[in-house]
Amino acid sequence: MSSTRNKITVVGAGQVGTTVAQLAAYKNLGNVVLIDIVPGFPQGKALDLQESGCLQVFDSLITGTNDYKDTADSDIVVITAGLPRKPGMSREDLLATNAKIVRSVTEEIMKYSRNPIIIVVSNPLDAMVYLAKKVSGLGKDRIMGMAGVLDAARLRTFVALELGCSQTDVDAMVLGGHGDSMVPMPRYTTVSGIPITELMEPGVIDQLVDRTRKGGAEIVQLLKNGSAFMAPGASVVKMVEAILKDNRRILPCTAYLEGEYGWSSIFFGVPVQIGIHGIEKVIELKLTEAEQAALDTSAKEVKKTINEVDTLLDKN
């Protein structure tokens, strides 16, 4: 990392990107560059955020831009760019469209930043992190995806609401791909160290697990026009903070596997320790046969999507 104030670039000035920029500034994590393809859009968001600095007491400089030159020498880059799936759009169309966007963004970032840590948020998440790694040429320690922190936060929230306890006392672990095949882990979800399997009936736990899997869809259904952005943005900033402050936090993130959990050459949601150099190690949990089977099912889905990304790269 540079000896001066940290530089955080956020690609995409939509609601998730703006939330990331706002929370990173409010936590004084560094100067923030907000970049988007729409002229004036990131500049307006950046100026609005800068003007809140004297009220929220931060000294960070916020830059809005359409030019990747302004992202030069970034310490961390958060990629939120990409399209949401629209009515009538097939999964394959979404993959092809966002693959083009993420590929282009990654190429531009790497022109101006030699060795950043990249956090990908764009969907389909696991495949987009894989694509960004191939395009960037970065080591597996310096590129990761945000999914598990968000999914675990949703499970933590639902557990706290069910038990009527403080959310801060709840820790949760969610493994696997970011989607319907994710694997929430009740045995590794605790309240002040007590597994929720000791505090709830199995049927209640099953309901909370199901709600966690459908957490994003539930918000989309309620909003009617839009998707979650506050919790996703906060999840990204938790990762950014852990890296820049070298907290060496153990968090569920989308990381590159080389044999862990029985899988290789895929990005997958697992607990990792992260600090100033990015991902320091992948932590392997002891799983039951049922848990491993669920994880394998999720990994097969992720592997299929990654193979499709490889096909797209070969065509281009």
Number of H helices, E strands in the chain: 10, 14
Comparing 7-145 with 148-311, is the CATH topology the same?
A: no
Instruction: Give pTM, 2 decimals.
Output: 0.96
**Which architecture characterizes domain 7-145 according to CATH?**
3-Layer(aba) Sandwich (3.40)
pLDDT the model gives residue 180:
86
pLDDT the model gives residue 1:
44
pLDDT the model gives residue 94:
84
CATH fit for domain 148-311, picks 3.90.110.10, 3.20.20.210, 1.10.357.10, 3.40.50.10240: 3.90.110.10
pLDDT the model gives residue 225:
87
Is the backbone of residue 39 left (phi > 0), alpha (psi -120 to 50) or beta? Answer: beta
Burial of 92 (0-12, 13-18, 19+ CB in 10 A): exposed
Nearest to 80 by CA among 96, 61, 94, 101: 101
Alpha-carbon span 45 to 158, nearest angstrom: 32
pLDDT the model gives residue 92:
76
Across the 316 residues of the chain, what is the mean pLDDT of every consecutive 10-residue run? 80 97 97 98 98 95 98 98 75 87 97 97 94 97 97 98 97 93 96 97 97 93 91 98 97 97 96 98 97 96 93 82
Alpha-carbon span 298 to 247, nearest angstrom: 30
pLDDT the model gives residue 299:
96
pLDDT the model gives residue 2:
43
Active-site residue numbers? 178
Enumerate the domain spans of the chain: 7-145, 148-311
pLDDT the model gives residue 87:
65
Q: What are the helix (H) ranges across the chain? A: 15-26, 41-50, 53-56, 91-112, 125-136, 148-163, 202-213, 215-223, 230-244, 289-315
Alpha-carbon span 127 to 132, nearest angstrom: 9
